[in-house]
Homo-oligomer: A and B are copies of this chain.
Amino acid sequence: MTKAILAGSGMTPFGNLGERTGRELFASAGLDALEDAGLEPDDVDEVFYGNFVGTLAENQGHQGPIAAEALGTTAPSRRVESACASAGVAVRDAVRAVRSGESDVVVAGGMERMNNMGTAGATDGLARAADDLYEIRAGITFPAAYALMARAYFEAFGGDREDLAHIAVKNHEHALVNDHAHLQREITVEDALGAPEVAAPLGLYDACPISDGAAALVLTSPEYAAEHGLEASVAVTGSGHGGDTMALQDRASLAKTPATRDAAEQAYEEARIGPDDVDVVEVHDCFTIAEVLALEGLGLFSYGEGIGAARRGETTRDGSVPVNLSGGLKAKGHPVGATGAAQVLAIANLLEGSHPRADDVPDATVGVAHNAGGTVASATVHVLEVIE
């Protein structure tokens, strides 16, 4: 399978970005990515734009052409929407556009703006990532869906709130040096355990914040990069995508995420690697329990072993497999439609040594970015590798 070269990347800070419009945010990330790649707007053949609730947040559908215009082009575009995995799927479809030989240069990324909707509006928007007919109308909230998964996990494999607290503490600590992170603040296990309960067993520090932000990647073929003398040291060598039932009630188990497993198997096979080859990982930790489910779905830990990984120090920045060195969704923030691209950017920066936490993984050559939609009814996995 041909690889796709990551020629450039850019992102805005994540946080409550006030009155900055979605198009302004994507322009910032996208133009940075083009500059990083050494390319011009006219070089862009296609745009793959992830966004989840812009139809509500900015009364704006048809955001593909707006994203393209933000880059300074009228190249063909589309919005790709898979809830919290929107950008992950956008990256996947963009990788395909390059690998198929149909496009030379594509921009993949995304943007979300939710703070302008207020807390109730954002909560209402986020609920649309779950099944409205069979879950939301029955009274479940999105945090409650993950709380059910946490309870199912505890019952199947053991673990407790304190295990989850260690994940939050780790990701907050990782974000301390990341000036693009939404939450740059150290917390303790006691802070996490003492925080208000959101949906038992999940408390406030088990949940990621509601963030605004944008991220963009420039992908191209090895041939194009060579012909145009682009400086690039990282490539996407594997891309996988998995699915599952939308509603939790239809799943065999709430303690496992087969969509992640399927996506990982596909991505590993393409890259001809296995979980043991992975040096550094960004996973979708919208809630602390989601990090556990992801690590096990990715095959980095056996089922039942992921829950204690942070507590045992195996996923901290000095651990055997550092997880979410960017701070993860938990502390870096989670502008839904941008997250999947920001994860790929973080892994690339870690591999090429430009990430503020790159010194923690000086020998890393293989990284994985994992993005999940809703309660993991969608998942994407991308393998990135250092190239010569």
Contact = CB atoms under 8 A, between A and B. Distances in A.
Interface string A238-268: 0001111110001000000011001100000
A321 interface: no
Contact of A96 (B75, B100, B136, B246): B100
B373 A69 contact: no
Interface size class on chain A is: 35 or more
A286 B55 CA distance: 21
A179 B246 CA distance: 33
Interface string A118-152: 00000001011111110010000000000000000
Interface stretch (A81-89, A188-196, A273-281, A347-355): A81-89
A312 to B, nearest CB: 33
Contacts of A93: 78, 93
A58 B132 contact: yes
Number of identical monomers bound together in the oligomeric complex: 2
Contact of A377 (B60, B65, B81, B133): B65
B74 A244 contact: yes
Contact of A69 (B130, B242, B245): B245
Contacts of A82: 62, 64, 77-79
A374 B62 CA distance: 7
Given A56-B55, A136-B59, A66 B21 contact: no
Interface of A: 21, 23, 46-47, 52-53, 55-56, 58-66, 68-69, 73-83, 89, 93, 96-97, 99-100, 102, 125, 127-133, 136, 241-246, 250, 258-259, 262-263, 373-374, 377-378
Given A80-B80, A96-B100, 17 more contacts: A21-B133, A53-B61, A60-B133, A62-B129, A64-B373, A65-B245, A69-B245, A74-B244, A75-B243, A76-B263, A77-B378, A78-B81, A78-B82, A78-B93, A80-B81, A96-B102, A100-B100
